[in-house]
Amino acid sequence: MRRLWNIEEFPFHPEKILHHETIFSIGNGYLSTRASFEEDYAGQTPATLIHGVYNHVPGALVPELVNAPNWLPITIRIDGTLFHLNAKTTDYLYPPRGALLGYRRTLHIDEGLLRREVLFRAKTGSVVRLVFERFASLSDQHVLAQRVQLFAVDGNPEIVIESSLDGTVTNAGNQHWGDFQVTAKGSIISIGAKTQQSGYRLGMASKLIAPGKHKAKVKGLQPTVMTAFTLKQQETITVDKFTTVFTSRDTHEPLTAAQKKADQAAKKGYDALLSAHRNEWAKYWRDSDIQIMGDDNAQLSLRFAMYHILIAAPRHDQQVSIGAKTLSGLGYKGHVFWDTELFILPPLTLTQPHLARNLLMYRYNKLLGARHKAQANGYEGAMFPWESTDTGEETTPQWSDVQPDGSRIRIWTGDSEQHISTDIAFAVLQYWRWTGDDEFLRSYGAEIFLDTAVFWGSRVEAKNGRYEISQQIGPDEYHENIDNSVFTNRMVVWHLQRALEMVDWLKAHAPNDHQRLVTALKLTPERLNHWRDIIAKMYIPFDHEKQIHIQFPGFFDMEYIPVPLYEPRTASVQAILGHKRSIQTQVIKQADVVMLMALLGDELGASREVILNNWNTYYPRTDHGSSLSPSMHTWVAARLGLSETAYELFQHAAEIDLKDNKGNVRDGIHGAACGGLIQAVLFGMCGLHIDADGKLKTAPHLPEHWQQVSFHVYYRGRRRAFRVKNPVKVSPSA
């Protein structure tokens, strides 16, 4: 039977190496490591990314999350033949460079364990089965463990093992580290280093437990420990490698801490570490697993999506957040976007609220950066950066990388994609509504919510007898610097409405915090009246004749391109039409008005007719040029009862990382697609929502062949079990 917890590669697919490196990543909320091999393989891109460790190299436009030394290398020689995957699979008998006789790699997503089994023949004829395992401990986030088991199927081979740390890795050529201290003593090797501009110090140490006499040496930035032994026919020998990582974000002496910990981890041993790690994973899955009966692929893809969110979510740190590509690749340089609050965070708010809280605390702790941005642009309050890193300052590059024609494209998102401030506020309110965590709201959340409201109060423009917001980029990034994005304007109205309610709530329930915030944020009666005026007079572009929201005035004056006619396609319509032309057309990059409908639901106050008209207008114009798009469309299509379309879109969303249908998974997991997929199922297909009386309700529109979806959510501190059946039968139980 197919195990619905395993992602498998069988046989070896060298052409998919970079895709697989990403999707088979392991991690523990402190760091993630791409699934590069223990042995060298041309073209692989090893990366271990640690939350919060950013650095800005001279000449680069922006800081980036720094690739840590590679802890994976284990080189194995069998009777003098180097074990590697380049071996021809057809030279079965007397292979000059060895023969790869079998290969299977499995990511066990239930226990965060990557396993690889390989059958290899040395040139002497000896055949060895090698089983590699690795995990990033969830019970002790500084510990990384590897095991290699060698079994002599045929022959009595001589085995030579070299285990190293590799300080030569870079971020695609950018070397962020300096001040290296490389040591090798006994069976412990270590690397100390410091990021050159930001000054973060790192300590990484590794201890090898294997038979034979160990010899340690340092070769440049690669400390190595070596051992040799004979493997008798039908005998298994186990080699364990324990690596530990600390940075100066954790301790003053990261190198000493790592060395000490490596010793301790080795003493504990692989089995004990693995069992503690498994127990920890079981706790997370107990709350976060969503079970689908009737669709194995959907089941697996949902677990895969949740796995990648769980390995990226910081457990013990409120100064870091999840980047758009999680920690699984160098794409977007590890920067944090709205992807986190509106896509990745909600599944955590519902199933792991303490992790959602950590992510919101990151924004609280970076309010200073948001205030700087507001001030620098002549506004009040907090204006969050479109791309954020460790400082909380705006870190969106102003220019793209060099294009094939040698030019660079101006990137406007850092200037104009201002809806991020409301997106963050939205996540704060959603967290509060679901968890009832009043303490968080009083002490932190309200300050985020209200200071971003203050920003909008100063940002809107009184014009033409109403309020307008010019020079925006809505979710649809193909149309830049437009005036009156309906998404932005309408979300701002929502934001200010809820802000006024929040002020009242604070006054009634937390008078001290109310007073503190009124003083600190200058929430004067005039300011609140100004908010009321904006709510009443904000311009919401709407076509009364057609009964649709207008994405922005002028949108329908542009060239109409029937996007469905371009199917089947692998490229985006933007790529097909070219940047210059596509921005002058009605082609939309991603859910925009549709996103507004997903987020606000009934709070949008639109009739079913308007929702359907909007859908019929915008869906056929959408390119899905962003991975954020299909899941939001699934959600809305499901709610509209368009079950077949919803399922098609669900599959599109589910395959983004697993099938690499955008061709860019090498850069990292699409974190927002993962979070969006889960929301599409919970909020869209199951119709999970809090009704007007504060009760949890479902309104299912499951795909026809799904028999049942079961899941747990936390609602106001209580764990609630749901079993949503098809046809429409619901049984919520306590």
User: Which H helix or E strand runs over 184?
Assistant: strand 177-185
Q: Is 137 helix (H, G, I), strand (E, B) or coil?
A: coil
* Minimum distance, C-beta of residue 590 to ligand BGC, in the bound complex (Å): 6
Binding segment for ligand BGC (CB under 6 A), chosen from 139-147, 189-197, 333-341, 684-692, is 333-341
Q: Does residue 488 bind ligand BGC (CB under 6 A)? A: no
Cα separations (Å) of 367 from 372, 374, 421, 449? 9, 11, 11, 11
Give whichever of 132 and 332 is closer to ligand BGC, judged by the CB atom. Answer: 332
Q: Which of 589, 639, 652, 666 binds ligand BGC (CB under 6 A)?
A: 589
Give whichever of 366 and 589 is closer to ligand BGC, judged by the CB atom. Answer: 589
* Minimum distance, C-beta of residue 672 to ligand BGC, in the bound complex (Å): 6
Q: Which of 165, 649, 672, 678 binds ligand BGC (CB under 6 A)?
A: 672
Site for ligand BGC in 644-663 (CB under 6 A): none
* Minimum distance, C-beta of residue 363 to ligand BGC, in the bound complex (Å): 15
Q: Which of 284, 338, 619, 722 binds ligand BGC (CB under 6 A)?
A: 338
Amino acid at 268: K
Distance separating alpha carbons of residues 388 and 396, to the nearest angstrom:
8
Give whichever of 228 and 583 is closer to ligand BGC, judged by the CB atom. Answer: 583
Q: Does residue 64 bind ligand BGC (CB under 6 A)? A: no
Give whichever of 380 and 480 is closer to ligand BGC, judged by the CB atom. Answer: 480
CB 33 within 8 A of CB 144: yes
Give whichever of 105 and 652 is closer to ligand BGC, judged by the CB atom. Answer: 652
* Minimum distance, C-beta of residue 473 to ligand BGC, in the bound complex (Å): 9
Give whichever of 334 and 392 is closer to ligand BGC, judged by the CB atom. Answer: 334
Binding segment for ligand BGC (CB under 6 A), chosen from 242-250, 332-340, 448-456, 659-667, is 332-340
Distance separating alpha carbons of residues 73 and 589, to the nearest angstrom:
41
Cα separations (Å) of 2 from 300, 503, 528, 686? 10, 53, 59, 25
Q: Does residue 324 bind ligand BGC (CB under 6 A)? A: yes
Complete DSSP assignment for 425-450:
HHHHHHHHHHH--HHHIIIIIHHHHH
Give whichever of 332 and 552 is closer to ligand BGC, judged by the CB atom. Answer: 332
* Minimum distance, C-beta of residue 671 to ligand BGC, in the bound complex (Å): 8
| Residue 488: half-sphere exposure toward Cβ, Cα within 13 Å | 27
| β 291-293/215-219 pair status | unpaired
Cis? peptide before 73, omega within 30° of 0: no
Binding segment for ligand BGC (CB under 6 A), chosen from 143-151, 330-338, 404-412, 520-528, is 330-338
- Scored b (16 or more CB within 10 A) or e, 243-274 reads bbbbbbbbeeebbebbbebbbebbeeebeebb
* Minimum distance, C-beta of residue 368 to ligand BGC, in the bound complex (Å): 23
Q: Which of 72, 361, 628, 665 binds ligand BGC (CB under 6 A)?
A: 628
Distance separating alpha carbons of residues 131 and 153, to the nearest angstrom:
13
Which residue in 117, 477, 501, 644 is the catalytic one? 477
Q: Does 477 participate in catalysis according to the annotation? A: yes
Residues that bind ligand BGC (rule: CB under 6 A) add up to a total of 12
Q: Is 541 helix (H, G, I), strand (E, B) or coil?
A: coil
Q: Does residue 626 bind ligand BGC (CB under 6 A)? A: yes
* Minimum distance, C-beta of residue 163 to ligand BGC, in the bound complex (Å): 37
Residues in contact with ligand BGC, shown as a per-residue x/- string from 270 to 299 under the rule CB under 6 A: ------------------------------
* Minimum distance, C-beta of residue 486 to ligand BGC, in the bound complex (Å): 16
Distance separating alpha carbons of residues 92 and 541, to the nearest angstrom:
69
CB 21 within 8 A of CB 666: yes
* Minimum distance, C-beta of residue 436 to ligand BGC, in the bound complex (Å): 29
Distance separating alpha carbons of residues 450 and 445, to the nearest angstrom:
9
Q: Is 481 helix (H, G, I), strand (E, B) or coil?
A: coil
Q: Does residue 487 bind ligand BGC (CB under 6 A)? A: no
DSSP summary character for residue 472? B
Binding segment for ligand BGC (CB under 6 A), chosen from 153-161, 331-339, 579-587, 633-641, is 331-339
Residues in contact with ligand BGC, shown as a per-residue x/- string from 590 to 619 under the rule CB under 6 A: x-----------------------------
Which CB contacts under 8 angstroms, 24+ apart, belong to 519-523? 520/447, 521/381, 521/447, 521/450, 521/451, 521/454, 522/454, 523/450, 523/454
In degrees and rounded to multiples of 5, residue 151 shows phi and psi of: -125, 125
Site for ligand BGC in 411-450 (CB under 6 A): none
Radius of gyration of the chain (CA): 27
Where does residue 687 fall: left (phi above 0), alpha (psi -120 to 50 degrees), or beta otherwise? left
* Minimum distance, C-beta of residue 588 to ligand BGC, in the bound complex (Å): 11
* Minimum distance, C-beta of residue 337 to ligand BGC, in the bound complex (Å): 4
CB 487 within 8 A of CB 479: no
Site for ligand BGC in 462-481 (CB under 6 A): 475, 477
* Minimum distance, C-beta of residue 112 to ligand BGC, in the bound complex (Å): 24
Amino acid at 110: D
Site for ligand BGC in 187-216 (CB under 6 A): none
Site for ligand BGC in 120-179 (CB under 6 A): none
Q: Does residue 339 bind ligand BGC (CB under 6 A)? A: yes
Q: Does residue 326 bind ligand BGC (CB under 6 A)? A: no
Cα separations (Å) of 65 from 28, 128, 153? 17, 39, 44
Of 729, 722, 728, 730, the C-alpha closest to 289 is 722
Give whichever of 120 and 338 is closer to ligand BGC, judged by the CB atom. Answer: 338
Give whichever of 349 and 626 is closer to ligand BGC, judged by the CB atom. Answer: 626
Give whichever of 629 and 651 is closer to ligand BGC, judged by the CB atom. Answer: 629
* Minimum distance, C-beta of residue 320 to ligand BGC, in the bound complex (Å): 17
Binding segment for ligand BGC (CB under 6 A), chosen from 67-75, 335-343, 404-412, 690-698, is 335-343
Distance separating alpha carbons of residues 687 and 167, to the nearest angstrom:
49
Give whichever of 237 and 591 is closer to ligand BGC, judged by the CB atom. Answer: 591
**Which residues, including other chains, have CB under 8 Å from residue 385's CB and lie 6 or more apart?**
369, 370, 373, 392, 393, 394, 395, 396, 414, 420
* Structure-block tokens of residue 5: 């917890």
Distance separating alpha carbons of residues 297 and 706, to the nearest angstrom:
11
Q: At what angle do helices 643-658 and 629-639 cross, to 10 degrees?
A: 160
Give whichever of 290 and 324 is closer to ligand BGC, judged by the CB atom. Answer: 324
Binding segment for ligand BGC (CB under 6 A), chosen from 168-176, 233-241, 337-345, 501-509, is 337-345
Of 733, 667, 690, 676, the C-alpha closest to 331 is 667
Give whichever of 29 and 414 is closer to ligand BGC, judged by the CB atom. Answer: 414
Q: Which residues lie near ligand BGC (CB under 6 A)?
A: 324, 332, 337-339, 475, 477, 589-590, 626, 628, 672
Q: Which residues are catalytic?
A: 477
